[in-house]
A and B are shown apart, each in its own frame.
Chain A
Amino acid sequence: MSRHQYSGDALIEVLHTAQELFGFLSPPLLKTIAHKLRLPPSRVLGVASFYHFFSLKPKGEHTFTVCLGTACYVAGALGLIETLERRCCKAGHTTPDGKVSVETARCIGSCGLAPAVIYDGGVLARVSPQMLDRQLESIGVQ
C-alpha cells in the first residue's frame, strides 16, 4: 500500500495484491484495507464484490476454471462443466474437503484452443471430459 502512497485510487491494485498474498479477500482483510486507505468499508466491499476477479471465499487446493466464451461454448464447454459438477461441486463453489474449486470464466482469450480450461493457473487446450477425468484422478478425486 505504501507503494501507492495509501491513495484511495489504488484500491483495485491493492485488492489484486491482497488476493495474491492471501488467496481470497476475507472480511477482516477488507476492513484493514479500508482503514489504511481511509475509505469507507462499504466502498471497499462494493468494489470487491463488483468485480468477478475478486474472491470473497477461500479457494480449494486446486482450481478448474472453465472458459465459457463463445468459441468454447460452441466447442462444448457445457459438457466440461457437467463433468466437473458431477464429480466435484457446483460451478462457483469448492468441494467440502477444500480440494477442488470449480469456476467459470467469461473468456480467457484462448479461443484458438477451444474448449479451454485453466487448471491452477495454466491453460489446458482442447479439453475433453475424459481429460478432466484423468486430471481429477491424478489429484486423487474419486
Chain B
Amino acid sequence: MTVEDLLEKQTEELERQKSLENRILCCTAAGCVSCGADGLRTAIASEIKTQGREGKVEVCGTGCMGMCSKGPLVLSAADRHLYGNATAADAPALVSPNPIDRQPLAARAIDLDAPFFTKQVKIVLANSGKVDPEKLADYIAAGGYQSLAKALNDLTPKETVAEVKKSGLRGRGGAGYPTGLKWELVAKQAAPLKYIVCNADEGDPGAFMDRSVLEGDPHRVLEGMAIAGYAVGAQQGYIYVRGEYGLAIQRLQTAIKQAEREHLLGSRVLEQGFQFRIDVRIGAGAFVCGEETALIASIEGKRGQPRQRPPYPPESGLWGAPTLINNVETFANIPTIIERGGEWFSSIGTATSKGTKVFALAGKIVNTGLIEVPMGATLREILFDIGGGIPGGQFKAAQTGGPSGGCIPEQFLDLPVDYESLARIGSIMGSGGLIVMDQTSCMVDVARFFMEFCMEESCGKCIPCRAGTVQMYDILRRITSGEAGVDDLEMLKSLCELLRETSLCGLGQTAPNPVLSTLKYFPQEYESHIRERRCPSGHCTMAPAGEEVVA
C-alpha cells in the first residue's frame, strides 16, 4: 500500500460509512464481553437480517467506551444515543428504522453530555469506542497510519525525534522519564541492530488502561512503534503482553497480520525503503517483568530477574543491542504527536507534565471505567465530576500507582494531578490505576495487602527486597490482627528506609510507599490497632483484647 492508496482507502471507507443509515456500535472490550456483549452483537446482526436491513444498518464491535460499570454498552451512531445494560432482547428496537421503537430503551440511555464525557480529553483513547479493533479499514478511515506516512515522507529520523522531544511527552509507565530524551539516546547509538520494545506487562493490581488500549485500538500502538523504529533506526519491535490478557493478544496478532498484508509493517513499509517487523511476546505472570531489565530477560526466554543498571537498555538491552522500551500508552500518544505536532501536544497539561493521562477508575466509585483527562486535572474533578462520586459513602483515600504508589487522603483532593505533585505527597503517577476507598476500608490492611503483593512478587535476587518484604509483611499482619507492640512501628519505619535505599530495582525501592503514605496520613489507624487493639473501620478481626503480647 502506498500513501496514495492509504488516502484512497480512507475516502472509500468514509463514503461507505456515510451511505449507511445507521451504525450500531457494541463495546467489545473485556468488561462488556464478560457481561454478554458478544451475544448482543450476534443478536443485532441476525436482527438486521430478519428486518431485511442489510446494507442500511451495520453492527460493529469497538474498544472500550469507558463506562464499564454500565456494560454492555451499545451506541446508535446516527442519533448519538448510548444505552447501558443492553441485552439481546433490545436488538429489534436498536435495528428498527422507527425511532419510536427505541422509546422503551430511553430509561437506560446514558447522557453523552454528562461531565463523565465532556470533562475528558481524548488522545490515546480517541478511537476507542469508535473503531472496530479487528478491522484495519476502520482505523484507516479514522486517519490511521497517516502519521507514519508523514514521518516517512516529510520528516528525517532526527526531526521525528525532535518532534517528540518538543511535545514534552513523558513515559506513561509510571516513572515519567522524558520520552524524547530516551529516543535520542537510542538514535545516537551506532549499532547495526536496534530493538523497539513495547511494555504491555501491566501488572499493577487495579490498572487496566493498557489492556483497554490494546483491545480497543491495537493499530495505534503498532503505528507508534513503527514511527519509533523509523526515528531511532530499529527494524524489529516486540510487544510484551501479559499472558492473562487473552483478548488483547488475539487482537494484536490479528492487527499485525492485517498491517503486514497491506505493507504497513514488514519489509517495505508503505512501499518505501523502511522495514519494520513486530512480534508479540507473551508474559507468564510476573509483576517484576514490568521492570525494563527483567522484561528484557523475559523476552530472551529467561527468568524475569532485573540486573544492575547501568548500562541502561538504550545502550545495551535486548541481546546486548540498544533497545528502546516504552509503555503502551506512550506509544499510543506518538501518532497524534506526529500528526498535530509537538507544540500542539505541549499546549495541554501542566508546566512539567504534558498531554493527557488515562486512568482506570475502580473501587468505591459510581462510574467505574476508563477515562482520559489532561494532566493537571484535580482529583476532585476526576473522582466527583467524572467518576460520579462515592456511592453511599464518604471519601477516605484514593490509591494511585499500585503497589509502588501511595494513598492520597481527602486534604489533597484539589491538588492538580501531575508527576511532580503526586511525588511530593508520597505517591506516584504510576501507570494510571486509581482505586477509591471509603470509610469501610482499613488503611493498615491496604498497606498489608500491597506488602503481601510485593512479598510474593519479589523475584528473590537481592536480599533487601526478598527478606525485607517478608519482615514488613509479618509486622503488618501482626498489627492488623492485634498482636503488635509499639516497638514494631519503629521497626517498620526503619525497614521502609532500608528497602528504599538498598534494593536493586524499582519493585523493592518503591515497595515501602504504601506503608509510608498510610503511616503519614493515617497514623491514628496504626495507633488504634496497636494501642487499643481496635480497627477503626471494623475491617480487621483482632485478637482478643487483654492478652499480654510481648513485642
Contact = CB atoms under 8 A, between A and B. Distances in A.
Contacts of B283: 12, 51, 53
B244 interface: yes
B281 A12 contact: yes
B235 interface: no
B399 A70 contact: yes
Contacts of B453: 106
A108 B35 contact: no
B285 A125 contact: no
Contacts of B449: 70, 73
Contacts of A16: 243, 282, 284
Interface in A93-142: 105-114, 116, 121-125
A111 B284 contact: no
Interface in B398-414: 399, 402
Contacts of A52: 284-286
A112 B363 contact: no
B202 A109 contact: yes
A108 B205 CA distance: 8
Contact of A107 (B206, B364, B369): B206
B363 A71 contact: yes
B427 interface: no
Contact of B208 (A9, A51, A111, A124): A111
Contact of B206 (A10, A46, A69): A69
Interface in B54-70: 68-69
A51 B304 contact: yes
Nearest to A68: B205
A69 B286 CA distance: 14
Contact of B31 (A15, A68, A110, A124): A110
B204 interface: yes
Contact of B304 (A7, A8, A50, A107): A50
Given A47-B301, A69-B205, A107-B205, A74 B441 contact: yes
A75 interface: yes
A11 interface: yes
Contact of A8 (B34, B71, B301, B450): B301
A46 B244 CA distance: 21
B206 A111 contact: yes
B205 A11 contact: no
B433 interface: yes
Interface in A3-25: 7-13, 15-16
B300 interface: yes
* Of A11, A53, A122, most B-chain CB atoms within 10 Å: A53
Interface in B72-110: none
B202 A54 contact: no
Nearest to B246: A121
Contact of B368 (A46, A70, A112): A112
A110 B34 contact: yes
A55 to B, nearest CB: 11
B207 interface: yes
Contact of A12 (B203, B284, B361): B284
Contacts, number: 134
B298 interface: yes
Interface string B269-295: 000000000000111111100000000
B284 A109 contact: no
Contact of A113 (B35, B207, B244, B301): B35
Contacts of A70: 205-206, 362-363, 399, 402, 433, 435, 446, 449-450
B30 A74 contact: no
Interface in B297-315: 298-304
Contact of B284 (A51, A74, A106, A107): A51
Nearest to A109: B208
Nearest to A73: B449
Interface string B202-216: 111111100100000
Contact of B286 (A51, A71, A111, A113): A51
Contacts of B360: 111-112
Interface string A67-100: 0111101110000000000000000000000000
B522 interface: no
Contacts of A71: 205-206, 362-363, 368, 435
A42 B537 CA distance: 48
Contacts of B384: none
* Of A52, A68, A105, A116, most B-chain CB atoms within 10 Å: A52
A65 to B, nearest CB: 9
Contacts of B204: 107
Contacts of A125: 31, 34-35
Contact of A15 (B284, B441, B457): B284
30 contacts: A9-B301, A10-B301, A11-B302, A12-B281, A12-B298, A13-B281, A16-B243, A46-B303, A47-B303, A50-B304, A51-B283, A51-B284, A51-B286, A69-B205, A70-B362, A70-B402, A71-B205, A105-B244, A106-B457, A107-B205, A108-B244, A109-B202, A109-B244, A110-B34, A111-B362, A111-B435, A112-B368, A112-B369, A113-B34, A116-B34
The 9 closest A-B pairs by CB, nearest first: A112-B68, A51-B284, A69-B205, A52-B285, A123-B34, A111-B362, A71-B362, A107-B205, A53-B285
Interface of B: 30-31, 33-35, 68-69, 71, 202-208, 211, 243-246, 281-287, 298-304, 360-364, 368-370, 399, 402, 433, 435, 437, 441, 446, 449-450, 453, 457, 459
Interface of A: 7-13, 15-16, 43, 46-47, 50-54, 68-71, 73-75, 105-114, 116, 121-125
Given A9-B300, A50-B286, A121-B246, 4 more contacts: A70-B402, A105-B244, A112-B361, A113-B71
